Amino acid sequence: MAQQTDTDILLTISSLQKSYTQGRLTPVQMITTIITKLKQRGDDGIWIYTLSEETLIERAMALTNMSASQRSQLPLWGIPFSVKDCIDVAGIPTSAACPAFAYNATHTNTAVQKLLDAGAILIGKTNLDQFATGLVGIRTGYTAPHNAFSKDHIPGGSSSGAALSVAHGLVAFAIGTDTGGSGRVPAGFNNIVGLKPTRGLLSTRHTVEACRTLDCLSIFSLTAIDAQTVLEIAQGYDPDNPFSRPAIVPPASLNSDQTQQSFRFGVPRANQREFFGNADVETCYDNAIKALTNLGGVCIEIDYEPFLQANSLLFNGPWVAERYASVGAFIEANLDSVFPITREIILGAKDMTASQAFEGIYAMETLKRKIQSLWQEIDCLVVPTTGTIYRIEEIKAEPLRLNSNLGYYTNFVNLLDLSAIAIPNGFQGNGIPTSITFIAPPYSESYLVGLGSVFHHVFNNQLGATTFNLEIAPSLVQK
């Protein structure tokens, strides 16, 4: 871990708010520090577009000049964030990581607008797997980013830039998207939290769609509590988005005073766990199971086969045709402008039939019914976020198969209408982070954040790739 300096700022919401309240920091000072960091890093593949220094300082000055009563009405006053560049912000280009596709957005995504209205400061738009197609994070028409802990390893995708902007302490939180794991895989690879809410809680209006019926906005942050804070502000029923859904009363959260409360967590049977030869991730996962058991959890092995069957439908079934419906016409007219493997995946859906689409829907409804009773036996499912990680050169050599491997524990979540959160789970022997994901029925975000936060504190993990550690919660110190 890098040595901390006097100029380092811990960019969590609570830490910034405390510094602002105590007069130790102003939004202008915070923004000036971020601008300096961005200049020092140069073109690192994280950003596709950043707002000008003048615009950022002007925004920070406007917030600083507000009265105390005005500030009190803005729950994200002076909090910096980033947005994945397939999500529209008015007046800023949206490229979906394809320069030829870029257009100047005339509207702002509803959820992002709520964050801006709450006083947050947008730093810029982040890189991604082109058209949000992939879990590797390097399929871009711009500079390809790399893992926050290794120049040789992938950062995870598709929301690679969003996750990296948080991991490197450039923003307090980031808004990404998650169709088949894109809000969890890059979180796991870069030692941060990735919250994938229930489909429809965050409006997807004014985005470049991947799979319109499955797409979710996702939240990256250094802590689970920060992710919950952002969700509560950004969520809301959007009557102009046909896939928006109102929130319902969530289950009770598990907080630090309830660590002895028994909870039931499911894990795949031993012969259904896949680590693709990575013994370190397997060991970390085994350790996570032990830690959760020590926290009062009851571990129950479940049949993972229905989830694997759902996985196969995302890229091998008719849902890939939604990607063609979104950007297929553009790709056919601009073949040379699109990343080759992205072009192959999306155009491969061109000949799918309506009957195949209905067959896929029938199959998915059958799987939903099959796993419905499972939630009477367990409170959540706990899986590795990914079974392994790959080097950039490995992905270039085998892009399809290795990308598919990364979705082993993620692809099914939106198809089965579940909620999930990825939480850091220590480091492999090579210094690369690993992670576990807690999965539960829709509208379980509060419960998942509570349980994930408790688990996160057990390890007192380094926060992202920053110089800061998660503070130890006294009630969670292991005896």
Catalytic positions are 84, 158, 182
Helix (H) or strand (E) holding 181: none
Are residues 350 and 324 in contact, defined by beta-carbon separation less than 8 angstroms? yes
CA distance 64 to 77: 9
CA distance 108 to 218: 16
Task: Work out whether strand 103-104 and strand 216-221 pair parallel, antiparallel, or are unpaired.
Answer: unpaired
Structure tokens that stand for 261 in this block: 């409360």
Are residues 323 and 210 in contact, defined by beta-carbon separation less than 8 angstroms? yes
Are residues 435 and 423 in contact, defined by beta-carbon separation less than 8 angstroms? yes
Calculate the alpha carbon distances from 478 to 24, 371, 405 in Å: 34, 35, 35
Alpha helices for 66-109 (secondary structure H): 68-72
CA distance 425 to 126: 25
**Of 90, 175, 167, 81, the residue nearest 128 (C-alpha):** 175
What's the 3-state SS for 326-379?
A: HHHHHHHHCHHHCCHHHHHHHHCCCCCCHHHHHHHHHHHHHHHHHHHHHHHCCC
Paired with 82 in beta bridges are 124, 174
Scanning the structure block, which residue is given the tokens 């894109």?
A: 182
